[in-house]
Amino acid sequence: MTECGLLPLRVAKIAVTGAVVTPFRAVFIEVENGAELREFRQRLHDIVGAPPLIPPHISLLYTLDGCSQAPRPDFDAERLKAIAAKCAEAIDDADFTLGRPVVNSAGGGYNVRSWKLIRSL
């Protein structure tokens, strides 16, 4: 057990979705916001002082350009929908186990390779 709850944490898949709403949720697995996950997310929220929580998901694809970090214009809604459909076919599991959560620092940028581990939870 950690200060954020019991690990590992199990989540249930609702759907695989593609959207142009945000480059950080271009193709993602929507997961059920069950009581255990809600409590876990709220504790993390309180620890890091995060903004309001968005619906829980697991991101599979970001549409940020690797060099400029600008959204890629070649990913439109239809292309993302097709990618999401292929992912939905390929991901048979309805349940996922999440383990070893960590708190990262983006250091003011969204280049994941540059993130620094602050602590394991």
Model confidence at 111, in pLDDT bands (50, 70, 90)? low
Q: Quickly list DSSP for the chain.
A: -BTTB-SSEEEEEEEEEE-SS-GGGSEEEEE---HHHHHHHHHHHHHHT--SPPPPEEEEE--B-TTT-PBPTT--HHHHHHHHHHHHHH---SEEEE---EEEE-TTS--GGG-EEEEE-
Instruction: Name the more confident of 67 and 112.
Output: 67
Model confidence at 2, in pLDDT bands (50, 70, 90)? very low
Supply the pLDDT for residue 40.
Answer: 84
Supply the pLDDT for residue 84.
Answer: 92
Any idea which of 20-29, 46-55, 63-72 has the lowest mean pLDDT? 63-72
Fold of 9-120: Cyclic Phosphodiesterase; Chain: A, (3.90.1140)
Q: For the chain, which residues make up each domain, given as ranges?
A: 9-120
